[in-house]
Chains A and B, each alone.
Chain A
Amino acid sequence: AQTVTQSQPEMSVQEAETVTLSCTYDTSENNYYLFWYKQPPSRQMILVIRQEAYKQQNATENRFSVNFQKAAKSFSLKISDSQLGDTAMYFCAFMKHEYGGSQGNLIFGKGTKLSVKP
């Protein structure tokens, strides 16, 4: 079974600074996907960034980037130039790639509550 661990329950950062959220996972699969989702107080789940395990290049989306270390099973999220609107819960999630079968069973970590301070 796959597990996802986020070891930082809460973090804070000053506006305009950089913060890194940690995520580790455990799996015996070779083909899988990793995601970071943002959940603001409204509770809506918003995809921040995704990474395919077969890609060595780290994914980047504007101010958001990941450090994907497949051998170490680590998938950290870096937020640059933090903004007040980045305040939210951040969830790391894992999904294995299945051939001809189910897709969409995201395995979530418990989340990291990020507060951006003015």
Chain B
Amino acid sequence: NAGVTQTPKFRILKIGQSMTLQCTQDMNHNYMYWYRQDPGMGLKLIYYSVGAGITDKGEVPNGYNVSRSTTEDFPLRLELAAPSQTSVYFCASSYSIPGEQINTIYFGEGSWLTVV
């Protein structure tokens, strides 16, 4: 029962470096999401995807890029890391039919990223 798997779980980056957070789900969900959680705050949506080949911006997309080449994978790319990107990142997925009742959104365990 893997669900949503994120790697790495912890990473320290230097300012200006780039990296990719990996996310994969084995539930055949069409929707996938990336959220970030800053200290003392709730989660905010960075990017989401409604299916392979389709991505769109969420509330806080600046400084990030995503791709969705397969149903299972939804990597998040950080270009030119900045201290403001220090956060915990959550990948999530759900199966939804547009216009119909949504199903539960399942979260991964989070990736702690520190930019120094």
Please determine whether chains A and B interact with each other in the same assembly: yes
Residues of A close to B31: CB separation below 8 A: 103-104
Q: Which residues 19-57 of B sit at the A interface, judged by CB distance below 8 A? A: 31, 33, 35, 40-45, 48, 50, 56
Question: Is there an interface contact between A110 and B43, defined as CB atoms closer than 8 Å?
Answer: no
Which of A38-46, A66-74, A78-86 touches B? Answer: A38-46
Q: Which residues 73-116 of B sit at the A interface, judged by CB distance below 8 A? A: 88, 90, 92, 94, 96, 98-99, 101-102, 104-105, 107, 109-110, 112
Question: Is there an interface contact between A104 and B94, defined as CB atoms closer than 8 Å?
Answer: yes
* Count of interface residues, chain A, beta-carbon cutoff 8 Å: 28
Question: Is there an interface contact between B45 and A42, defined as CB atoms closer than 8 Å?
Answer: no
Residues of A close to B59: CB separation below 8 A: 105
* Count of interface residues, chain B, beta-carbon cutoff 8 Å: 29
Which residue of chain B has its CB nearest to the CB of A95?
Answer: B102
Partner of B33, one of A44, A93, A104: A104
Assembly CA distance A99 to B102 (angstroms)? 11
Which residue of chain B has its CB nearest to the CB of A9?
Answer: B40
Question: Is there an interface contact between B101 and A52, defined as CB atoms closer than 8 Å?
Answer: yes
Instruction: Given A4-B42, A102-B48, A108-B43, answer yes or no on A45-B98 (Cβ-Cβ < 8 Å).
Output: no
Chain B's nearest CB lies how many Å from the CB of A49? 11
Assembly CA distance A47 to B90 (angstroms)? 14
Assembly CA distance A29 to B92 (angstroms)? 24
Interface residues of A (CB under 8 A from B): 4, 33, 42-47, 50, 52, 91, 93, 95, 97-111
